[in-house]
Chains A and B, each alone.
Chain A
């Protein structure tokens, strides 16, 4: 543990965490410049702490918080700028951010593991062949490698239920496509820069779409409307066909 800590301290510039103002109604706490698992853990742990504190609300300024949202490397804190004692919020957040080394925090509790069936290639994954070419491997090897990697939800963003999953090994460090595809369907699974993204609404993409699932991570009629949360883990399971017209229900297993 000691050794690992000193290793981290060397890697991360000492100025983090950094508190940034984002307009009159939000603060952003950054735990690092770029993505790595410990930075992501720090953001998720800090977000969990905020949610717990906001629910119990022992500190009056916390009543001003209207929502929090973790990203790859930071936490957004939105608040009502006219709430009582709101002016004390930045100092409280700053104190909490420096109260311990959040990068040593374990991944969040109540994480789940999802096995998500996906059809690779064909109309479901139109960029499979060109992506295999770019990686210098066969389509079959690409599919096995992608399905063999247990991926983690690093962030929910860009669109409702849209998830960023990481992290694939260095061979997947491919640039995004030059053009933007105006629309890929719900459930499209695309790769670039060692990450995988999965869409939950029809959306534009500059990523390489290699597969598609019938699992819909965004369903406005369900509670909550989005199933996957940051910290959850995913294994894709290659299948030959899926009925993309009907909703696929999945039961995740808890991660001990």
Chain B
């Protein structure tokens, strides 16, 4: 059987898919890829169904990998890193072959604003056990993915049957998608949170005026926000009963520090939530590197819906956005980036 060998994986590499929604009543949150669009891009590059696909998710450096048992198609998407195959540069957001003996090396990019979470898809997917409808690793709870944990040197991940190989075709690899623009700064759109009413008018206004920065205290569970000035503390921050929380919720801790909850958040929490990031902007927060300045902009539900509709239609249209790698290089010369 073909497999991926982790020669020296980066510090935070896990198997992810689109998560396991529907289990919150059992204390299990959906989890899954931090950037579903980047995840879908990888699936599109390999002509895979993103609903059943799996990928390695990583922060830089992603580490070194090879394959055994036969050649495997791969795609790299998400946060832009410096990728080489046998020391030759690989273009990001493309699909390519790795054959036994090859070494794929994923190092931090020298570019700034290149995102945080990268994805490595394999044609045929990573054949790890499916636990209640998902192969995603739940890192804090220690289950799912490969042995419920991040990858270590020497780990061997079996790769499933690649349906596209039996069907054949012209573009099994060598396809590319446009490089994404990751958050340099700017607006993150929010709706009022479920405890908006507990915050005074002054706190709410200041929250929307304040320039926050992504703190180094960040992981798959959430990201803390640094800021200058008085804390965002409600009188009842420590006495509210625990309630169900959602990804995107911005909770203000007992010290009055905002934390944006992300894919692997705890299912319940007692800190009041001043605002909730709209679903369409969640990956934008997740992909902001440490220190990125962000501001929150209050929008209404119709803007949140319209933004999600646009995101979903972008995902559906990904197959049409693919081009052979050579043509993409040409386009970069004639088309200024957005």
Contacts and interface: CB of A to CB of B under 8 A. Distances in A.
B14 to A, nearest CB: 16
Interface in A202-236: 202, 218, 220-221, 223-226, 229-230
Contact of B241 (A20, A73, A202): A73
A26 interface: yes
Contact of B312 (A23, A82, A223, A224): A82
Interface in B63-84: none
Interface stretch (A137-145, A155-163, A238-246): A155-163
Nearest to B273: A22
A160 B141 contact: yes
A200 B143 CA distance: 12
B246 interface: yes
Q: A interface, by DSSP: helix, strand, loop or mixed?
A: loop
Nearest to B267: A157
B132 A23 contact: no
Nearest to B148: A220
B268 A158 contact: yes
B165 interface: no
A226 B28 contact: yes
B315 interface: no
Interface stretch (A3-11, A61-69, A98-106): A61-69
A22 B276 contact: yes
B227 to A, nearest CB: 22
Contacts of B279: 23-25, 81
B305 A81 contact: yes
B268 A155 contact: yes
A59 interface: no
A70 to B, nearest CB: 7
Contacts of A47: 25
Contacts of B21: 66-67, 78
Given A23-B277, A81-B279, A226-B26, A157 B242 contact: yes
A201 interface: yes
Contacts of A202: 142
Residue in B22, B191, B242, B301 whose Cβ sees the most chain A Cβ within 10 Å: B242
Contacts of A130: none
Contacts of B266: 157-159
Interface string B291-306: 0000000000100110
Contacts of A78: 21, 24, 246
Contact of A22 (B131, B249, B304, B309): B249
A250 to B, nearest CB: 17
B304 A161 contact: no
A229 B304 CA distance: 34
B246 A160 contact: no
A26 B24 CA distance: 12
B138 A160 contact: yes
A149 interface: no
A69 B266 CA distance: 14
Given A21-B194, A28-B194, A160 B28 contact: yes
Contact of B25 (A69, A73, A164): A69
A226 B23 CA distance: 10
A223 B133 CA distance: 12
Contacts of B249: 22-23
A72 interface: yes
B138 A24 contact: no
A30 B195 CA distance: 12
B191 A21 contact: yes
Contact of B278 (A24, A159, A162, A230): A24
A155 B243 CA distance: 9
A74 B244 contact: yes
Given A23-B277, A66-B21, A160-B138, A28 B243 contact: yes
Contacts of A158: 27, 242, 266-268
A71 B21 CA distance: 17
Interface in A79-111: 81-82
B308 interface: yes
Interface string B303-321: 0110011001000000000
A220 B305 CA distance: 34
A76 interface: yes
Contacts of B141: 159-160, 201, 218
9 contacts: A24-B305, A25-B279, A47-B25, A67-B24, A81-B279, A81-B308, A159-B266, A164-B242, A230-B25
The 9 residue pairs across chains A and B that have the minimum distance between CB atoms:
A157-B268, A23-B276, A76-B244, A226-B26, A24-B304, A69-B25, A69-B24, A20-B194, A220-B143
